[in-house]
Amino acid sequence: MTRAVWMLADRRTADAAKRKLDRREIGAQAGLGLLAALVAGGGLLWAVTAAHSGAVSAGDLTMFVDAVAAVQGGLATLARDTARCHHALLLLDHYLEVTTAGPDLQVRARPRPLPGLRQGIELRNVWFRYSDQHPWILRGLDLRIPRGSALALVGLNGAGKSTLVKLLCRFYDPTRGQILWDGVDIRDVDAGELRRRIGAVFQDYMSYDMSASENIGLGDLDALHDRARIEAAAARAGVHDTLAGLPHGYDTLLTRLFFMESDKQDPATGVVLSGGQWQRLAIARAFVRDRRELMILDEPSSGLDAAAEHEIHTCLARHRGGRTSLLISHRLGAVRDADVIVVLRGGRIVERGDHHALLAAAGEYARLFHLQASRYQADTPAS
């Protein structure tokens, strides 16, 4: 309830500022329009009066009217160009603020070296909330991911699964507690070095206005120009035939943003993939990072059909064999083979164990699993 009140108050403040700006804009436009009408009207009235008295000729009157229209057009163009220049300068200010901003996270003057993952990753009494005004997302989490094992996180929306992933990638630091990588607190190491050790596929994947090869190669900049690695990753993700069949193969642009309207109808200028194809390409981007020590899979098959989902999860199971991995999925059938399944509720761990042990416990996991399974079980037809 407190969070909703805070969001509504913030929304009302933003709306009030927008209304104030709109009123100022309307007032300025109305004032300038009235001034232009008075000047033009006064000038025309003088010209007509002068022509009636014979002070100016009919040709002079025509030239004066054309001059007034030309001056008004020139002033309007100057005003538009000034507005565009002001907008461009504002964007430049935003760009400079982003590119020159300091780190959001605390940076050690002398970061500790990050050891190779030999034992595992451990969360000790981790509490987290996004600000002091927000509720707690994680509440005293104690969790261990042994090296070489697959751990799955399940739970309802808002349970804290994606937040835990953000903490592991050090997009945020815990409000309380520690996250240890082989005994080293990740707050004491360089964040860039930590992220270079992690491969991830997120539900909200990125699609870049670049070629197919570059979209995959961005997963590991060392492989950006290594076509063999890129094609191998695409093949493992089941998208190689699609990309190879494009007008320019892997060099085809996966966008039509940079072309004129007349060129956008030509598929050779650029191709826009479907959602499922982009999902596979995002998985290929993770596969090209195959030398990483931790693999995070956050709903990796959310945009795929049933057959493609089975194929991808089979491929992912082979890929993560022997690797330390963290799986997140609302489809419990996709995580049943994990070594350990952890059930989150309200930011706390309420159950943990393998698939069979959790079913036997008849707790939250068993309830969710049977609820999903019931949708696939057909009723027995009446005789």
Do the domain assignments include residue 83?
Answer: yes
Model pTM? 0.70
Section 57-86 average pLDDT: 80
Do the domain assignments include residue 245?
Answer: no
Nearest to 119 by CA among 294, 252, 362: 294
Per-residue pLDDT reduced to its tens digit, 93-146: 989 988 888 777 887 888 889 888 899 999 999 999 988 888 899 999 999 999
Strands (E), 23-119: none
Per-residue pLDDT reduced to its tens digit, 269-301: 778 888 888 888 988 998 888 778 898 888 776
Q: Left (φ > 0), alpha (ψ -120 to 50) or beta: where does 163 sit?
A: alpha
Tokens of 345: 């509720």
Q: What is the pLDDT of residue 175?
A: 92
Do the domain assignments include residue 214?
Answer: no
Do the domain assignments include residue 25?
Answer: yes
**C-alpha distance across the termini of the chain, in Å:** 52
CB 178 within 8 A of CB 168: no
Half-sphere exposure of 337 (CA within 13 A, CB side): 9
Do the domain assignments include residue 93?
Answer: yes
Residue 45's domain spans which residues?
2-100
Do the domain assignments include residue 267?
Answer: no
Per-residue pLDDT reduced to its tens digit, 209-225: 899 999 999 988 888 88
Per-residue pLDDT reduced to its tens digit, 343-356: 999 889 999 999 99
Domain tally for the chain? 1
Please list the residues that pair with 353 across neighbouring strands: 341
Do the domain assignments include residue 54?
Answer: yes
Do the domain assignments include residue 381?
Answer: no
